[in-house]
Amino acid sequence: MNTSLNYAYYPGCSSTGTSIEYDMSSRAVCAALDIQLNDVPDWSCCGSTPAHTVDHTLSSALSARNLDQVASMGLDSCITPCPSCLANLKTAKHRMEDAGFRDKVNNLLDKPANTQVGTKSVLQILVEDYGVENIKKKVVKPLTGRAVGAYYGCILNRPAELMQFDDREHPMAMDNIMEALGATVVAFPLKVECCGASFGIPRKDLVMRLSGKLLDTAKGIGAMALVTACPLCQMNLDMRQAQVNNANDSHHDMPIFYFTQLMGLALGLTEKELGIDKLCVSPRTVLDAMASEQSVKERAA
């Protein structure tokens, strides 16, 4: 196992608010696996929604600046938990390869940006750099018992040419991790479906339909919880679950974890440091179920 994993860490705006538990758990898990994270000094918004919808140059300028910050740290790769940030940072790096575009962007910045650094998601480095096998070795409290489904969302690994991670239609990264943690993983067919996130404000009805379908399907295949890797997905499925239920008069009560939170638990971290209490739909029943399952095993042993 590679002991010297060391990355620049770009939290992204949502980690300071709606998805603070994702940020907490990511940091906690990395610490537990002694993966060193170095915060990007004076990081700013990546220029993702809404900037990139209205002005590519501006949005890339924001990302470019952050990448330049990373370069100035003397590190060659940067990781971020948030897929939108990831997508935008990668897009910027790609666009900056075009001389014309690069000039336009650099005009907006104080100094020409060095955008050579690569960006990966926390999920990607856990799977590719750290390795599922190694994660397995670190598990102290296996997540035995309950069935979870893995939901990746639509941007984590798409467009494939850009994101260069996992299968664009049938990703397995989180499934494999969950399996390594000892959970029973149910094959979730809508892994890469859209949750409606970007319509969250203008077309709520869409979100209700799309997220609703996700929850229905999850339930249909007997998942007791979903794990996600995206603040937006998580928000739609968790925070808006009640609204979804109202809209589709369904009665879902499905906890939506960040995969890092379940990892944390399996690695023996406390619920507090993983921000479990920040979830809207209470995961209590599921967690207790898992706990009891464990104790049963322990007694048996």
Of the ranges 73-81, 164-172, 227-235, 250-258, which one interacts with other proteins (CB under 8 A)? 164-172
Is the CB of 217 or the CB of 294 nearer to other proteins?
Answer: 217
Cα 103 to the chain's mean position, in Å? 32
Q: Minimum distance from CB of 267 to other proteins (Å)?
A: 31
One character per residue 186-215, x = contact with other proteins (rule: CB under 8 A): ---xx--x----------------------
Identify the residue among 39, 55, 167, 205 touching other proteins (CB under 8 A): 167
Is the CB of 220 or the CB of 268 nearer to other proteins?
Answer: 220
Going from the C-alpha of 245 to that of each of 231, 252, 281, 284, the distances in angstroms are: 20, 6, 12, 20
Is the CB of 136 or the CB of 219 nearer to other proteins?
Answer: 219
222 forms part of the interface with other proteins (CB under 8 A): no
Of the ranges 39-47, 166-174, 175-183, 229-237, which one interacts with other proteins (CB under 8 A)? 166-174
Q: Minimum distance from CB of 36 to other proteins (Å)?
A: 35
Is the CB of 155 or the CB of 274 nearer to other proteins?
Answer: 155
Of the ranges 11-19, 133-141, 185-193, 282-290, which one interacts with other proteins (CB under 8 A)? 185-193
170 forms part of the interface with other proteins (CB under 8 A): yes
219 forms part of the interface with other proteins (CB under 8 A): no
Give yes or no for a contact between 271 and 265, defined as CB atoms under 8 angstroms apart: yes
Q: Minimum distance from CB of 217 to other proteins (Å)?
A: 8
Q: Minimum distance from CB of 160 to other proteins (Å)?
A: 9
Pairing status of strand 184-186 against strand 256-258: unpaired
Q: Minimum distance from CB of 211 to other proteins (Å)?
A: 16
Is the CB of 98 or the CB of 169 nearer to other proteins?
Answer: 169
Partnered with residue 119 across adjacent β-strands are: 78
* Encoded tokens for 270: 């406390």
Give how many residues touch other proteins by CB under 8 A. 9
41 forms part of the interface with other proteins (CB under 8 A): no
Is the CB of 75 or the CB of 221 nearer to other proteins?
Answer: 221
217 forms part of the interface with other proteins (CB under 8 A): yes
Footprint of other proteins (CB under 8 A) = 167-170, 189-190, 193, 217, 220
